[in-house]
Amino acid sequence: MISSILKATPRLTPTLLTRALATDAATTAQQHRPLIQIHGLHARYANATYTAASKASLLPKVEEELLAIQDVAHKSPAFQAFLDNPLISRDKKEIRITDLLGDKVTHVTLNLMCTLAGNARLPLTSKIVDTYGKLMNAKRGEVEATITSADPLTKAQLDAVTQAMKTQVAKGKKVVLSTQVDPTILGGLQIQIGDKFLDLSVGSKIDEISRTAV
C-alpha cells in the first residue's frame, strides 16, 4: 500500500521545484502589492516602499513616520530647503539623513529617504508621502473626498453633503472627508470624490453662461 502511494506521488524534480518556488514567489509578491495603480516617478518610490513595508508588517508605522517627516518639512523652512537644495552633494545628504533619522525610524523609512538622497530625489518627498497615503487609503477601503465652498459649511450642510456623497461611493467603502474654503468660486460647491470631480460652483455657471453668450 505504501509503495502504491509513493508511486502515485509525483517526484519533485528540479524543474517542478523551480516552478513551485516561482509560483510561491509570485503569490507572495501579489499579496504585498498596492491595491491601486498610481503612475509617475514619485509613485514608483511609494509603491516600492509600500511593498517593503507590507513584507515587514510595518505599513501603518511607515505611514506614521512619513507623515511626521512631511510635517517637519512643512513647518521647518530649513529642513525643506535641505531637501530641495541641489548644491548639497548626494553623499552629504545621505549622511545627514542617516544622522537625523537613523535610530528614530524603521529600516523601511530610512531606506526610502537614503535612496531619495542618493538619487537626488529628496524634493519628491512630499509627493511620495501623499501617494503612500493614497495606497494606504485603498488598503483600508477608504475613498478621499474634498468639498470646496466659498464660505465655511454649517454642520447641517456638511452632514447633508456627506450623506449625498455616500451614494456615489461603492458599497463597503468609507468616505474620508476634508473641507476647504475658496471665496473665488463665489458660491455653491466643488466636490472631489476619488478621481471624480463635480463643479457646482456659481463661478463655473457664470463661465458657462459667458461661453454660451459668445
More confident residue, 136 or 214: 136
CATH says 37-137 is which class? Answer: mainly alpha
User: What is residue 142's predicted lDDT score, i.e. its pLDDT?
Assistant: 75
Report the distance separating Cα 53 and Cα 71, nearest Å. 20
More confident residue, 205 or 146: 146
More confident residue, 167 or 204: 167
Cβ proximity of 169 and 138 under 8 Å = no
Structural domain boundaries in the chain: 37-137, 142-213
Q: Is the pLDDT of residue 208 over 70?
A: no
Q: Is the pLDDT of residue 209 over 60?
A: no
CA-to-CA separations, 25 to 17, 22, 44, 50, 56, in angstroms, rounded:
12, 5, 21, 17, 16
More confident residue, 202 or 66: 66
Report the distance separating Cα 189 and Cα 50, nearest Å. 34
Question: In the numeric block, which cell numbers belong to residue 100?
Answer: 537625523
At 29, the pLDDT band (50, 70, 90 cuts) reads low
Q: Is the pLDDT of residue 210 over 60?
A: no
